[in-house]
């Protein structure tokens, strides 16, 4: 089995599942999800919870008590003795931790019976199983009410999604220093550029702070601010239905753009993904996306 230790918000959970799915496909194995990280997730500044249950993917769970963790793959005497004792009672699972933000070339050399601990933020991990990932992240239930009406509207026009991530990026010192907030100049330039390339645009703005966007974001008419959803997955559904995208330095809007299957989509994304310009983020954004 391939165990994935889920952590973070919806976008991060999607990256983690997608990478695990790709490795499981290569190994002819199955995925088990470890949700133990969420036991303490409400104690942090941006509380998180498991959100993949909105999608059609197969859900199978495992707790740390159900497997025996090892930190090395070896034929050493220690491992042999381990297999004769604790390893007999529980499946032994090799811990593999992500070492950085770049694509890990060793990933697909990993054996079966491994637990993935990291974020795996690159489509290079799962591009080879793109159709399977799109199927996994299709929504289980149809949109209802206002979201259903908006989906109909979005599909009729040249819809461009704009995502503005604020939340803990704006209110928490540590998050702001690590991630950094996208400035209004980034959005102004992206809006300017896409307006030259696409005729008859209708903008749809998504944010965890829609009131701030209404007061500060300069968006040409027509524009619709999506401010009614309490469920982020519903925003992602609407976002992915748009024809083109202006995303934030956010895994949430990354997936909102990636789930759009059109080969003709235009995606504008921040060239600097984190506040520190020295961090290696070259593998986070697909090559076809426009970096500003």
Q: How many CB atoms lie within 10 A of CB 168?
A: 19
Residues 183, 73 share a domain: no
Closest CA to 139 of 53, 243, 49: 53
Residues 222, 172 share a domain: yes
* CA angle (215, 224, 239) in 5-degree steps: 110
**N-to-C CA span, the chain:** 40
The better pLDDT of the pair 138, 45 is held by: 138
Mean pLDDT over residues 126-133, rounded? 97
Residue 85: the pLDDT is 56
Mean pLDDT over residues 159-163, rounded? 98
d(CA 248, CA 120): 18
The better pLDDT of the pair 81, 38 is held by: 38
Q: Which of 86, 113, 136 is the last residue of a domain?
A: 136
Residues 173, 128 share a domain: no
User: What Cα–Cα distance (Å) separates residue 162 from each residue in 26, 69, 190, 223?
Assistant: 35, 42, 9, 10
Mean pLDDT over residues 83-92, rounded? 62
Tokens of 203: 């903008």
Contact 27, 2 (CB under 8 A): yes
The better pLDDT of the pair 289, 276 is held by: 289
Residues 73, 42 share a domain: yes
Q: Which of 77, 112, 136 is the last residue of a domain?
A: 136
Residues 165, 93 share a domain: no
Residues 149, 105 share a domain: no
Residues 154, 127 share a domain: no
Residues 150, 52 share a domain: no
**Least confident span in 8-12, 16-20, 91-95, 129-133:** 91-95
Residues 156, 271 share a domain: yes
Residue 76 clears pLDDT 70, i.e. is over it: no
Q: Give the contacts of 224 (CB within 8 A, at least 6 positions apart).
A: 150, 153, 202, 203, 204, 205
d(CA 122, CA 139): 22
d(CA 122, CA 282): 9
Domains contained in the chain, number: 2
Tokens of 98: 């992500």
Q: Which of 136, 157, 188 is the last residue of a domain?
A: 136
Q: How many CB atoms lie within 10 A of CB 178?
A: 14
Contact 22, 10 (CB under 8 A): no
Residues 132, 49 share a domain: yes
The structure's pTM equals 0.90
Residue-wise pLDDT tens digits, 28-72 = 999 999 999 998 766 555 678 999 999 999 999 999 888 878 776
Question: Which CATH number covers residue 153?
Answer: 3.40.50.11350
Q: Which domain holds residue 240?
A: 145-291
d(CA 233, CA 200): 27
Residues 209, 247 share a domain: yes
Phi first, then psi: give them for residue 105, nearest 5 degrees: -65, -20
User: Taking each helix axis from N to C terminus, what angle separates 251-258 and 10-27, rounded to the nearest 10 degrees?
Assistant: 60
Residues 256, 167 share a domain: yes
């Amino acid at each position: 089995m391939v165990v994935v230790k889920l952590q973070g918000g919806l976008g991060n959970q999607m990256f983690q599942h997608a990478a695990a799915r790709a490795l499981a496909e290569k190994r002819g194995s199955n995925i088990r999800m470890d949700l133990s990280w969420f036991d303490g997730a409400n104690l942090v500044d941006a509380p998180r919870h498991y959100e993949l249950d909105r999608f059609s993917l197969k859900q199978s769970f495992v707790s740390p008590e159900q497997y025996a963790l090892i930190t090395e793959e070896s034929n050493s005497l220690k491992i042999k003795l381990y297999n004769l004792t604790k390893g007999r009672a529980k499946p032994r699972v090799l811990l593999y931790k992500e070492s950085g933000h770049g694509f890990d070339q060793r990933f697909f050399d990993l054996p079966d019976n491994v637990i993935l601990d990291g974020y795996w933020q690159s489509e290079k991990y799962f591009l080879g199983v793109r159709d399977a990932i799109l199927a996994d992240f299709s929504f289980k239930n149809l949109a209802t009410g206002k979201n259903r009406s908006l989906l109909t509207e979005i599909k009729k026009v040249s819809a461009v999604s704009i995502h503005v991530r604020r939340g803990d990026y704006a209110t928490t010192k540590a998050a702001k220093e690590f991630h950094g907030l996208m400035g209004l100049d980034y959005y102004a330039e992206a809006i300017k550029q896409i307006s030259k390339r696409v005729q008859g645009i209708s903008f749809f703005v998504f944010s965890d702070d829609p009131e701030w966007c209404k007061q500060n974001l300069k968006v040409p008419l027509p524009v619709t601010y999506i401010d009614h959803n309490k469920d982020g997955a519903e925003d992602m559904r609407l976002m992915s239905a748009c024809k083109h995208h202006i995303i934030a330095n956010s895994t949430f809007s990354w997936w909102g753009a990636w789930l759009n299957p059109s080969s003709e989509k235009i995606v504008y994304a921040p060239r600097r993904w984190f506040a520190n310009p020295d961090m290696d983020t070259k593998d986070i954004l697909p090559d076809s996306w426009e970096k500003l």
